[in-house]
Structure 1
Amino acid sequence: MKKFINFLILIVAFSGFSQTEENPIEIKTSVKKISETEYDIIFNATLYKGWYLYSQYNPDEASLPLEITIPESENGYKLVGKADEKDTFKKYSDVWEKEEIVFKDKAIITQRIELTNKDITTIKLNFFGQVCETACINIDELFTISLSGAIINNDISIDEKSKELSKKLKLDLKNTALLKSSTEDENNTSNGLLNIFLLGFVGGLLALLTPCVFPMIPLTVSFFTKQSKNKSKGVFNAILYGFFIVLIYILLSIPFHFLDNLDPEILNTISTNVWLNIFFFAVLVFFAFSFFGFYEITLPSSWGNKMDNASSVGGIIGVFFMALTLAIVSFSCTGPILGSLLAGSLTSDGGAIQLTAGMSGFGLALALPFALFALFPNWLNSLPKSGGWLNTTKVVLGFLELALAFKFLSNADLVAHWDLLKREVFIGIWVVVFIGLALYLFAKIKFPHDSPIKKLSFSRISFGFLTLAFVVYISPGVLKNPTWNLSLLSGFPPPQFYSIYEQESDCPLGLDCYKDFDEGLAKAKEVNKPILLDFTGWACVNCRKMEENVWSVPNVYKTLKNDYILISLYVDDNEKELPKNQQFDFLKENGRIKKIKTVGDKWSTFQVINFKNASQPYYVLLSPNLEILNTAQQYTDKETYYSWLQKGLQNFKK
């Protein structure tokens, strides 16, 4: 269990660090001729201080081993055995609980190749490895090497086909000044952060009502107020204790800001990655069953003991370690809620700042009781006593975790086009989950740590009927023609066109849309209509909310259907490969090469280079001559969106 928990923490906290733009390793190549047909290719790597590169002989079930391979498109030469390594040493891993083979500071790796075509003068080798410090980064670089020893700049070595296809990605836009964010856009962003903060605050309030945290409130407050003869000092320490709780949870979000700054597409890649979404699904199911009481998730006990010992130091440092101890020992209850917040906040819509806002709200909700009860100790008498109701709260949260888990499985299904979790299937699963919750609230089913129930409380009965009402509300969603629109759920179930029933089209609301920019542009020129360029995603919650709550409004829908050519580009469609003749290497402004292999690769890069933006939904109004017709628009209300569409039409007619 310890090994699993360490691995889980490592993955959740640092999974996004792979494929960043600044790698803590610099690799140079050189060539040594052995014979007319054999050459040694020498990779001389320098690592940043404190970072390790893992050997090709690293043990199984540990960090990723080094691999040197020949690209599939290359021929005329082959590898001779495995590469020769110098200056490796062994290092024990607490995560994998075994010794690993690593390079430190520098690495000299020599790979011998044999020519099967003597006319070959340059070769290509792919260098894949993993470097780790507190985080791990995957290194995946393609080296073009001259066998004569001539210098080749690997970063700009792209072929003519790639240059030509790269040019087609760049649009000759006019009136680009209109794309700059308006004050209204900034206000919308601020409102979005406030909503995330409030969501985190609610999560923190729920965490307070769990058996790991609630009993700590009177104990901790009493400790601070009674430990000192000076009452004001005790109050100060309690408030400081609350401040440190908030600070600790904010600090948890800091690493993700480095992801956000390094690559504008990285958070989109994380939030829409198929396997990471499956991982989040598995984690939330694992958390849910821990809330049900089948097992308990805890951090290593040694962590809590060390922090507890450090808290005895006294003064400000002691108070900080007391707060850190609370965060560690309460992990079995707060961890699942934090995991949901982490998984749900890592979207490209607002970047890592959303996660910080959510963590701030969560920490503040946890900290407030300690500060308030220290200021007003008489309030402690009004607190309800600990009891079975705390376990009931945990079980209810377990059902909510289970329902949320299927959202991440749905993301993976949508992006991978597995066609398994269609809209009606997803809603059907939610119906089953919430019927289970209702049965639990009415004491028809029980879990391991439930106390005997002699009589149902009024609050439990009321919440049970509310749950049944929710089941009645969502149940029509499994039908072909629902009785009512599930607007309260917009963004959570798959889109309406992703259905087990036959639909008019695979576009939102049955509209006509193009999923290729060039095709849509050609149609706009043919009929002389403006373009609504819709950067969207299969796993984008706000995209679904806009389509189901804003686009469905009659005047907006009519405008989209009759007055615009809709081009919907799915930036997270990373499982659908482009035809081989359309795959290419794109040279980025920083000199690195991005391989454009999938539909998602193409349209996410298209959005970034033309509109300097990587969030979804992102809407742009264009004329067939590529004139910008209005400011870019993002998630907003129906009135603002309709006015924005009308303004674009007016500018087009001018």
Structure 2
Amino acid sequence: MPASALGLPSELALAFLAGVLLNLTPCVLPVIPLKIRTIIHHAGASPRQRVEAAVAFLAGTLLFFLAIGGAGALLHWTWGVLFQSPAIIAFLIAMMAGFAAMIFFDIDMPVPAFAYRMGGGRHMEPLISGVLAAILSTPCTGPFLGGVLAFALTQAPAVLVAVFLTIGLGLALPYVVILLHPSLLDRLPKAGEWSRRLRQALAFLLLASAVFFAGSLLSTHVTLWLWRAWAVGLAVWAGVAIVQRGTLTVRIVAISAAALGLSTAFAGGLLMLPHGGPLHWRPFTEAQLVAARRAHRPVLVEFTAAWCINCKILEKTVYVAPAVVRAAQRENLVALRVDLTRPNPAMERLLVKDGGAGLPFAEVRDPEGHMTEIFRGLFSPAALVAAIDRSASHLDMTG
């Protein structure tokens, strides 16, 4: 069993920091509207009620990480494996669309009768918010998380579960602190029309996430029209908010939300049919690796999935960057893609064997087939260009 050079206490500290930083990843952004709603609903409550809400939120997050950590220990699941299930994705899409409607129209969350009988009705929303935040964090590997997960998957079950629980604790901490200290929000202007419009804008963010994950289940053309319908809805909502009588703040909120949402959708290529990209990706096979080695060509291997938000960010930014394209052409690079949208045991074993524990993950191999660089999570075009150049120089030094 490999031991960490840092030791378990340091790995747990990194796991905690990785959990905190997960809040900044695109995967967790969709649940921010629900978290804000939970915080606002409890901001004026008694200290005891706020403590109970904080405990419920933390419990929801830790329960999920306990479950996923146990599954990792017993079933050897990799990070994000839940999103390979169409049933789970469909359930999450329904939840996100439902929460978006609740937030947009300010509808109270329906609470099952058994929760009322147990006296926990008012804590259902923070509990579900904590669970959903934890679930939506799993398609992303943020800073430090890739290394932490690679370490955890080599450890005894108890250590692996402890690492996962520590990640969950870090993920929940910022919102627990705000729930316990609502005075941190005192500087915000009093609620009014501007806050209603802001809430509605955040509902569009949650709805966009539902559309994104729907792309894992639906055809490209259907998903394209869903994105276009979302964009039209956002534009119409912003137009109505602008022309209606309201304060300057209301109009700024509407214009900013529409400009940010529509520009992001356009820049991300969400409103047009996708294309192969300048690297001319090919599906990964062992035969492709052998052919590249025989032709003395370096190889870039990307492990990706339709539900991996960070993967899509890399594909829309790093892999199409002019410097990367020039480096790929200069070194006659072969770009291979491993699609883990659905379960693929052979490719999942390859991912773990090559040092990955979640998506996104990429590796660069030199013309002799030796792996010279790996990337976990997000990275820059400059880092990839340097890795491609090093793969060529590695051959010069060893050839």
Aligned counterpart, 1:251: 62
- Give, in whole Å, the separation in 1 of the partners of 2:15 and 2:383: 15
Q: Which runs of 5+ in 2 are unaligned?
A: 150-163
Verify: 1:217 aligned to 2:63, yes or no: no
CA contact (8 A) 1:201 1:363 kept: no
Aligned counterpart, 2:233: 433
SS at match of 1:289: helix
- Give, in whole Å, the separation in 1 of the partners of 2:329 and 2:139: 29
SS at match of 2:246: coil
SS at match of 2:297: coil
Greater helix fraction, Structure 1 or Structure 2: 2
**Rg larger in 1 or in 2?**
1
Aligned counterpart, 1:558: 326
Greater strand fraction, Structure 1 or Structure 2: 1
From 271, 274, 279, the counterpart of 1:511: 279
From 383, 392, 396, the counterpart of 1:649: 392
CA contact (8 A) 1:524 1:565 kept: yes
Identity %: 14
Q: How do residues 238-637 of structure 1 correspond to structure 2 at under 5 angstroms?
A: 244=55, 247-253=58-64, 254-293=66-105, 296-304=108-116, 306-307=118-119, 325=120, 328-329=121-122, 331-332=124-125, 334=126, 338=130, 341-347=133-139, 349=141, 350=145, 355-369=168-182, 392-413=197-218, 418-421=219-222, 424-439=224-239, 441-442=241-242, 455-470=245-260, 473-474=263-264, 477=266, 486=267, 489=268, 493=270, 499=274, 503=275, 506=276, 509-563=277-331, 564-574=333-343, 600-608=344-352, 610-628=353-371, 630-634=372-376, 635-637=378-380
SS at match of 1:262: helix
Deviations 1:590-647 (A, max 9, x none): xxxxxxxxxx333223333x3253322222233454433x242223122222222222
Tell me how far 1:249 sits from its aligned partner.
Answer: 4.7
SS at match of 1:298: coil
CA contact (8 A) 2:16 2:167 kept: no
CA contact (8 A) 1:620 1:633 kept: yes
- Give, in whole Å, the separation in 2 of the partners of 1:213 and 1:348: 24
Tell me how far 1:409 sits from its aligned partner.
Answer: 0.3
SS at match of 2:375: coil
CA contact (8 A) 1:515 1:567 kept: yes
Tell me how far 1:355 sits from its aligned partner.
Answer: 4.9
Once superposed, what is the RMSD of the aligned Cα atoms? Answer: 4.1
Deviations 1:385-416 (A, max 9, x none): 66666655544433332222111101223xxx
**Residues paired across the two proteins, number:** 365
386-395 or 263-272: bigger deviation: 386-395
- Give, in whole Å, the separation in 2 of the partners of 1:443 and 1:284: 29
* TM-score (normalizing by structure 1): 0.48
- Residues 335 and 203 of structure 1, relative CA distance in 2, 3 Å threshold: farther
- Give, in whole Å, the separation in 2 of the partners of 1:348 and 1:473: 23
Aligned counterpart, 1:196: 22
- Residues 341 and 469 of structure 1, relative CA distance in 2, 3 Å threshold: same
- Residues 181 and 636 of structure 1, relative CA distance in 2, 3 Å threshold: farther
Tell me how far 1:202 sits from its aligned partner.
Answer: 8.1
Deviations 1:467-501 (A, max 9, x none): 342365257x3xxxxxxxx1xx58xx49x8x53xx
- Give, in whole Å, the separation in 1 of the partners of 2:106 and 2:215: 26
- Residues 208 and 344 of structure 1, relative CA distance in 2, 3 Å threshold: closer
CA contact (8 A) 1:201 1:361 kept: no
- Residues 436 and 267 of structure 1, relative CA distance in 2, 3 Å threshold: farther
CA contact (8 A) 1:543 1:616 kept: yes
CA contact (8 A) 2:365 2:373 kept: no
SS at match of 1:259: helix
Letter of the 1:258 counterpart: G
Tell me how far 1:270 sits from its aligned partner.
Answer: 1.0
CA contact (8 A) 1:202 1:365 kept: no
Letter of the 2:71 counterpart: L
Higher relative contact order (CA 8 A, sep 6+): 2
Tell me how far 1:462 sits from its aligned partner.
Answer: 0.9
SS at match of 1:534: strand
